[in-house]
Structure 1
Amino acid sequence: MTQAVVVDDSHFMRTVISDILESDGIEVVEQAADGEAGVAAVETHDPDVVTMDVEMPRMNGIEAVEEIMATNPTPVLMLSAHTDEGAEATFEALEKGAVDFLAKPGGEVSTEISAHREALVEKVRSATRADPSSVGDVETDDEAIEADHEYVANPTLVVGASTGGPRVVEKVLSDLPREADLRVLVVQHMPDGFTERFAARLDRRSEYDVAEAEDGMRIGGGEAVVAKGDYHMEVAGYGNGRLRLRLQQDEQRHGVRPAIDTTMETAAEKVDGPLTGVVLTGMGSDGAAGIEAIKAVDGATLAQNEETCSVFGIPARAIETGCVDRVLPAEEMGKAILDTIRENG
């Protein structure tokens, strides 16, 4: 039986979360009221998964995640307030090693959490499949990345990721030099309210100008967008080296919106210049059809390898299509992307 530790400073939230998990056959071996007690509970019980609040006394969730990863690496699911402060704290926790997060509906002490029971259970079960040992700093071979500066004109890159993705996406974009002049489309499975903050983090940490996607937006070389949470992002047009985007709320695909497949398929249809598709760590099969579409128009296709994935789902399904050109560790993805757009490649 799957075993969990529930960490939250609200007795109400601990009780509700525990009841939801146990009603689905997940045994809650201990409830902890702060990060310090949560770290001790993980050491004592060695659970399969931890649900972790962010704001707590004595030791907050970010500090607790860092300590757990240092002493007893365990998949951690963050439960975050749906606020700007909650979003920023969540990304810090993901940097420290948390594998995924769920936004609490209604705030820190959420009376609405029961209505989201399916999402909570799905996230917890997904987290148990994550490999916490794959979480850590991704090293980069800077010399290899800077070895050649001759790139093709007007290249487009589509990157898709889910569980464990934010840290890897951030590293991949930080490894792309501005002179490569890519138009970058990022689809990270993430709810509305978090994608804007994620885009801001990518903007600070890369040479590209990164923003959350807007309907009708046009992007050119050196610019990147993050698909807006709860909206599919389509490439609606392409001309003079610029992409035109459309956001829509058609039904979910693979149970998610935005879907990687939607962006990749429309990019394959509309972009007539160099096109590269990349699938990174995550649960499910979203991205497999998109990779097939990009390969069908002679685009380049890359997938993250199992050893560096938190969850080897999305890349595995893409690889199974037979349409992936190269399978690489996360730390080599930046160089591999640049290899696909070199004049001599």
Structure 2
Amino acid sequence: MATRPPLVSQTRDPGDAKEDDYPMIAQDVPIVCVGGSAGGQDAYQRLLQNLPSDLGAAIVIVNHLRTVSTHLHEILPHHTDMPVELITEGLDIQPNRVFIIPSQRDLHVLKGEFRLKPISKPRGWPDVITVFLCSLTEHWHGKLVAVIVSGYDGDGADALCAIRDVGGTTIAQLPASAGQPDMPDSAIASGCVDFILAPEQIADQIIKIIRPTHAD
């Protein structure tokens, strides 16, 4: 992975303090962001079923929600041995866990923690995946993998080139394997997708990226 240049914060913390007031702490926990929407649950399940519980990365599922409450933190524990948590403000980012974005929130990272803000686009198609991926490019130094799976609209596509620019890897679900191919199609159309794969193959590729010395 390419060495990243020093990061300069451009946004502000939910509190009154400026983010620039905090020292930038290098983070070495890999993060795998999996963004999806309609049909995404099937992809999440198939992906998690094929990832080892000791992968060594934090899996963050950013479902393209606006007002509908998620139940993924109740459903997905049946498909993985990793702990599955609904993200709360200030939750530490740890490896070998699956984290789920709550509804009606934008998700950011800062100082090794998740930060939640009111959703910035309350009407129309939300851009929660794009918002989170952009935050990762600004505030995270560990390996990054961005995965776009089944869903409507094109959330996430606008951030994929930025993920690659900081040395990350981008993956889109093979549209033919997606219940709703709009989101993978938009990702592919960005021109910044490294791999186009079915969910089980995505899991294999993530293992190769995160644990190259353990891959077959």
TM range (shorter): 0.7 to 0.9
- Segments of 5+ residues of structure 2 without an aligned counterpart are 1-27
Query: What percent identity do the matched residue pairs reach?
Result: 26
How many angstroms does 1:237 deviate by?
2.6
Normalized against structure 1, the TM-score is what?
0.51
Select which of 209, 218, 224 maps to 2:92.
218
Distance 1:339 1:245 in 2: 26
2:163–2:170 CA contact under 8 A, matched in 1: yes
Hey, what does 2:8 align to over in structure 1? none
Determine if the alignment matches structure 1 residue 161 to structure 2 residue 36: yes
Runs of 4+ in structure 1 over 3 Å off: 190-194
Q: Which has the higher contact order (CA 8 A, sep 6+)?
A: 2
Q: Match of 2:75, SS?
A: helix
Hey, what does 1:188 align to over in structure 2? 63
- The structure having more radius of gyration, on CA atoms, is 1
Determine if the alignment matches structure 1 residue 266 to structure 2 residue 135: yes
What does residue range 6-21 of structure 1 map to in structure 2 within 5 Å? none
Q: In the alignment, residue 157 of structure 2 is paired with which amino acid? A: A
Hey, what does 1:336 align to over in structure 2? 205
How many angstroms does 1:257 deviate by?
4.5
1:203–1:211 CA contact under 8 A, matched in 2: no
Select which of 77, 80, 101 maps to 1:227.
101
What does residue range 111-130 of structure 1 map to in structure 2 within 5 Å? none
Determine if the alignment matches structure 1 residue 275 to structure 2 residue 144: yes
Q: Match of 1:180, SS?
A: coil
2:66–2:122 CA contact under 8 A, matched in 1: no
Distance 1:162 1:250 in 2: 16
1:254–1:284 CA contact under 8 A, matched in 2: no
Determine if the alignment matches structure 1 residue 302 to structure 2 residue 176: no
Q: In the alignment, residue 228 of structure 1 is paired with which amino acid? A: P
What does residue range 216-255 of structure 1 map to in structure 2 within 5 Å? 216-238=90-112, 244-252=113-121, 255=124
- Segments of 5+ residues of structure 1 without an aligned counterpart are 1-152, 239-243
Q: Cα gap change, 1:321/1:191 in structure 2, threshold over 3 Å: closer, same or farther? A: closer
Distance 2:80 2:89 in 1: 23
| Deviations, residues 127-168 of structure 1 (Å, cap 9, x unaligned) | xxxxxxxxxxxxxxxxxxxxxxxxxx7321000001110111
2:148–2:183 CA contact under 8 A, matched in 1: yes
Hey, what does 1:323 align to over in structure 2? 192
How many angstroms does 1:235 deviate by?
1.4
